[in-house]
Structure 1
Amino acid sequence: MTAITALDSAERARLRERAASCCVEYRNHPLPTGCVPRAGRIGVEDNGTTVLLQVDRKVRYVGLDAEVHAWVTAGTHAFSDLDTAIEWLSSKLPEPKVARAAAPTAVRYPTVDLDAVEAESEDATRPVSAPELEAAIREEVVGQAEAVNVIATTVAHHTAKMRPRRPVSILLYGPTGTGKTLVGERLATSLTALSGETWRSLRYDMNEYSERHAVARLHGAPPGYVGHGEGTSLASELAANPRCVVVFDEIDKAHPDVLTALMNLMDAGRLGSSDTGRPATRSVLLFTSNLAVAPGGDQEEMARRALIERGTRPEVVGRFRHMCGFTPLTGRQRAEVAARSVARVAADYGLSVSEIDPAYLRRVLNDTRHSTIGVRALEYLIDAQLGAQLAAQAAGTTVRVIGADPQVAPSARTDATAAPTSDASCLVPGDPTAGSPTNAQEKP
């Protein structure tokens, strides 16, 4: 039944007629604030002279309104007419709650040209020239012309894509010490210099990921665990800077579960469903292996088969865009690497080198010819042989290396302001790998 406070004029007229003959009851009618319970029975009766507004005797009042207290205590209240009774009760009832507007069921989004937005966004990578990138890499990497050409061309094309769907993945295979890891380092610095954007170089030794639990080190610790958010995992590195050149050394030694995570990275730029960061589809992934392939035939196909025979899953091998073979360095190339190593060691001491005696280079190459770590042993040996003499020179000095039993002496013309260099132009004329020196030894 409708509350008497909500009756319109016609309904009030009918109530007057009924109240004149009997008491009209309203069950579960709202009661004034302070009444217990909040709703109860109310009666309306017209005795001919007054209109009686009655309330159930079971109702109690705990409020401070004297009129309501008297009404509840007496159980009835007399009014001159029905309208006055209704107005009084309305003034004592609590304010009705305003219904909240229903939330819209759907949001209408405006039309936006997303292609135009992305084309102008900071996320778009500036393309680089393949010949320029190849030349920049070859400044540091000796030999490997074919492999460097394939890598530079593939990466340059990748940077030209507006919305790449996946990172570019390349396998570099060949003997140790032939420049595979160096390509990754030089590629990152070359991309930074040519594009004007920051490209990071990351390296992961897969010997450290040979156990199943090592896959967690790629994802990082989950929320709530020690190490979460420390920014040391591959996932956090890629989230912070999706333009990365990542080198995975000796990929055939990684655990299969690690390779599964890397498959997700190669496919979509994510390490798995738990990786919710921005996909690193602009990154370059380089995988290295010491795999040896016999000359002749389709080298890339032979390398794929050989890698599968060594236990790498076919679905992993199939995700490599290219497989680039690195060949052993010739004697002359190793001599060039040795000369550059001398220059780099000198640069560590703040010095530059103008001349190196071929006799010393022959000695270095002879001392390291049985090394199992390729040209990496060169810098260790050179630092051990020349370190004390280089440390004795004043910073900024240009020096020369004289004799097979090397002596370091300042050049005839020393430029104290010259910056240290790692350029290989310090080689003297002649082939250091020949049977005898082409230049007479000079004494300091």
Structure 2
Amino acid sequence: DMSEYMEKFSVSRLIGAPPGYVGYEEGGQLTEKVRRKPYSVVLLDEIEKAHPDIFNILLQVLDDGLLTDGLGRKINFKNALIIMTSNIGVRDLKDFGQGVGFATKNRQSQAGDHARSVIQKALKRTFSPEFLNRIDDLITFSSLSEEDIFKIIDISMRGVHRRIEDLGYHLELSEEAKRFVAKRGFDPEFGARPLNRAIQKYLEDPIAEEMLSGRLKEGDTLLADKDEDKEKLVLSKKVTKKSSSKSTKANKSSGDSNGSEEAEDSSAKDAEA
């Protein structure tokens, strides 16, 4: 997380403190990990928040694949894949609308080209030309659609299902409930984070209240579905068919006992004869 390296002195945390300083023998957080595992993926999240001196250090990494740590050792980055993420240009894209009309492939390609051009201009205003020239490829992510958010629900709900099952309960979501949460958690400007807030508001909090109420027993299954007026989710305990299965088993056992009694009567009659 490059937001932790916003100060000038934080550069030494990456490559290690210079000789004579505290922590000189420990090595840097970046150089030491790459030295131990040279075949690795290095993710620099939100690179624009780092101090400008860190960009100068990354120049030789992106060009020669080498970096000298605080101990004077040459750390080899040639077998490492470096990925940098950034939110630069996102604010400039807020004013760009799709306009009125059908979302044809031509319009979508024009929107993608415009987004890339806006982001490239923002990158040139933030980073130096020599830094941008050492980046192999620039990938622009498209905004998430409502259908994408619907697919992400299953991924985001894995942790919720796991926590509920650890407590001894089960949860089932109907398709209408998923559509409801996806619609409430859809925001093309902020991505998938509103979905997590919608899951907490419409699912996690009501489920927690239902558990605290004492109406549930261990092993019960909660069913989340949309109500008739389609304005909120309704949690209900799923009814199992254990009682009917028990009655059928009882009938079978009674039938078997009757059959055995008839067999005993017939055997007794044969013995008397």
TM-score, normalisation: structure 2: 0.60
Which residue of structure 2 aligns with residue 57 of structure 1? none
Q: How does 1:100-115 map to 2 (within 5 A)?
A: none
Aligned-residue identity in percent: 27
| 3-state SS in 1 of match to 2:79 | coil
CA contact (8 A) 1:220 1:228 kept: yes
Which amino acid is 1:280 matched to?
Answer: F
Deviations 1:216-267 (A, max 9, x none): 2211223443233446611111112112222212222322211111222222
Establish whether residue 218 from structure 1 lines up as the match of residue 14 from structure 2: yes
Which residue of structure 1 aligns with residue 130 of structure 2? 315
| 3-state SS in 1 of match to 2:82 | strand
Larger fraction in strand: 1
Unaligned runs of at least 5 residues, structure 2 = 97-110, 227-231, 242-273
Which residue of structure 2 aligns with residue 208 of structure 1? 4
TM-score, normalisation: structure 1: 0.39
Which residue of structure 1 aligns with residue 143 of structure 2? 328
**Alignment partner of 1:283 out of 80, 93, 99:** 80
Which residue of structure 2 aligns with residue 235 of structure 1? 31
Q: 1:227 to 1:376 in 2, by over 3 A?
A: farther
| 3-state SS in 2 of match to 1:324 | coil
Q: How does 1:176-195 map to 2 (within 5 A)?
A: none
Take 2:119 and 2:211, find their aligned partners in 1: how far apart are those partners? 44
Take 2:12 and 2:218, find their aligned partners in 1: how far apart are those partners? 49
Which residue of structure 2 aligns with residue 127 of structure 1? none
Which residue of structure 2 aligns with residue 245 of structure 1? 41
Which amino acid is 2:123 matched to?
Answer: L
Take 1:326 and 1:281, find their aligned partners in 2: how far apart are those partners? 27
Establish whether residue 357 from structure 1 lines up as the match of residue 174 from structure 2: yes
Larger fraction in helix: 2
Count how many residue pairs are aligned between Structure 1 and Structure 2: 207
CA contact (8 A) 2:223 2:236 kept: yes
Establish whether residue 306 from structure 1 lines up as the match of residue 130 from structure 2: no
Aligned-residue offset at 1:412: 6.0
Q: 1:393 to 1:283 in 2, by over 3 A?
A: farther
| 3-state SS in 1 of match to 2:43 | strand
Which residue of structure 1 aligns with residue 160 of structure 2? 345
Unaligned runs of at least 5 residues, structure 1 = 1-203, 414-444
Take 2:131 and 2:236, find their aligned partners in 1: how far apart are those partners? 51
Deviations 1:259-298 (A, max 9, x none): 1112222223333465515402111111112234673548
Which amino acid is 2:35 matched to?
Answer: A
Deviations 1:392-429 (A, max 9, x none): 7869x98653334242756969xxxxxxxxxxxxxxxx
Deviations 1:69-112 (A, max 9, x none): xxxxxxxxxxxxxxxxxxxxxxxxxxxxxxxxxxxxxxxxxxxx
Structure of larger gyration radius: 1
Aligned-residue offset at 1:360: 2.8
CA contact (8 A) 1:360 1:405 kept: yes
CA contact (8 A) 1:303 1:323 kept: no
